Amino acid sequence: MTDAVKPPKKPRGKAALLEDKCIACGARCQSVCPVDAIQMTDAGEPIIDASRCIGCVKCVKVCPVQALEMSFTPEELRILEQLAGSAAPEVAEEDPEEAALRKRLAVYSGVWVFIEQTGGEAAKVSWELLGKGKELALARKAPLCAVVLGDNVEKLCLQAFGYGAEKVYLMDAPVLRHYRTESYQRSVCALVRKYLPEVILMGATGLGRDLAGVVATVLSTGLTADCTGLSIDDKGNLMQTRPAFGGNIMATIVCDKFRPQMSTVRPHVMSMPTFDSEAKGEIVREPVPVTEDEIQVKVLKILMDGGGGSDVDIAGAEFIISGGRGMMGKDNFAMLQELADVLGGVVGASRSAVDAGWMPPDRQVGQTGKTVRPKVYIACGISGAIQHLVGMQDSDVVIAINRDPEAPIFQVASYGIVGDLFRIIPALTGKLKALKAARS
Ligand code: FAD
């Protein structure tokens, strides 16, 4: 009788840091290590105590830039080779925590877009989000759904189908006539608890910011505000990109342990999808889980904002001529207005110009101003700081006029004119006027 030869145990290896790859993301590896084998240097890079490491691979998995890998001794490598060559296929060891998380998240499915409406009119940003939502839904092989709340708003369901939704969850009742945080929060949360979507997108408008924040809090999930980019990673998580640290870096945020993943996006950041008037879908009518008596806030009167600003919506304009500190003074903006009049556009401004009092705040383009996506954006005397660029870099055509050839605005410009704006702009306006006159 011979003893059965036991196969050697699969070596687990030790975590090791790859040189020059760590981005000091904030000690994610250290926070997941179950045996305190990782300490951080002042520069934010991990030092791994190999004598403590148990090869659980958690740090390797959490690293956003693959700066950690498992390392093996020559003997361990020999065993691994031997195991790989052995007949019996090896069953991958499953981390029980990971398996439980995967199971918990797997019940969530579908991309939802909240359709914001006022008086039965949908906010355009909701349709823009359906366009982006379609891409995400395709990547997840999941349905794209819209959520419509209001009073007498069924017509919005048909519009939502036209912009790509396959299904609309509709709550239609007088209690939802006007937006109130409590009634809307309770309605959205009831829908989420019942249908378990994996992604919810809302416009980063006053209403959307209010609602998204409270819904995420009640559902104990993550919310990324003011996203400028959304995509799906290879694990199926939503990658939510937004400016961080005063706009100096673009951060990509992942909510990998909770569902739904929630994001808000400002108007004009995503492009408008084409409308298909033939599109059809399913309307799922749901009862409203709240009565008027339960809501403490009452809408007594609606006072329309008389337009304390300038009545000009730069966010929706197709031609924007923006001026910065290089305009040197308030009066010089008349020159931009003249060019805007010829082009049928509007005048925008950098924050420096607004801070100087040369233009009203509602004309500010950028991170703390408006996000614009015109057909043509002409930047005059604007250096192109990142906080300005995030608000206009998705314009179809960018024309930059600056006397500094090194100005960063030229990096996003389709056409750049290096020179003195006080000579270039009047010449441009004159030429356009002459062309127009010749045509008429
Ligand atoms: P400058 O940077 O001073 O540039 C002036 C430009 O004019 C220069 O490039 C110069 O070469 C050119 N120039 C001067 N004279 C002439 C001439 N005769 N002819 C041609 N060119 C000329 N900024 C925004 O715009 N929007 C925002 O929403 C915003 N949000 C911010 C949020 C935070 C948290 C922070 C910290 C900053 C923010 N900023 C924002 C400010 C931003 O960092 C810049 O300071 C600002 O955009 C600079 O404005 P500017 O380009 O007009 O001025």
DSSP readout, 147-182? EEEESS-THHHHHHHHTT-SEEEEEE-GGGSS--HH
Ligand 1 contact via 417 beta carbon (within 6 Å): no
pTM of the model: 0.64
Is the separation of the CB atoms in 16 and 70 below 8 Å? yes
- Token pair 């996506």 is found at 373
Give how far Cα 259 sits from Cα of 28, 75, 125, 218, 225, Å.
20, 43, 23, 12, 16
- Token pair 């249908």 is found at 195
Query: What is the average pLDDT value for the chain, to the nearest integer?
Result: 91
Centre of ligand 1 to C-alpha 105, Å, is: 45
Ligand 1 contact via 408 beta carbon (within 6 Å): no
Is the separation of the CB atoms in 297 and 181 below 8 Å? yes
Ligand 1 contact via 348 beta carbon (within 6 Å): no
- How confident is the model over 148-173, as pLDDT tens digits? 999 999 999 999 999 999 999 999 99
Residue 307's pLDDT is: 47
Residue 298's pLDDT is: 94
Centre of ligand 1 to C-alpha 25, Å, is: 29
In the chain, the domains with their CATH numbers are: 14-89 (3.30.70.20), 105-294 (3.40.50.620), 314-439 (3.40.50.1220)
- Nearest partner of 230 among 138, 124, 347, 333, judged by Cα: 138
pLDDT band per the 50, 70, 90 thresholds, residue 310: low
3-state SS track over 216-276: HHHCCCCEEEEECEEEECCCCCEEEEEEECCCCEEEEEECCCCCCEEEEECCCCCCCCCCC
Q: Is the pLDDT of residue 308 over 80?
A: no
- How confident is the model over 78-101, as pLDDT tens digits? 988 888 776 555 555 667 888 899
The answer to which of 31-40, 67-76, 301-310 has the lowest mean pLDDT is 301-310
Share of the chain above pLDDT 90, in %: 69
pLDDT band per the 50, 70, 90 thresholds, residue 4: low
Q: Is the pLDDT of residue 2 over 50?
A: no
Residue 3's pLDDT is: 52
Question: How far is Cα 169 from Cα 191, in angstroms, rounded to an integer?
Answer: 8
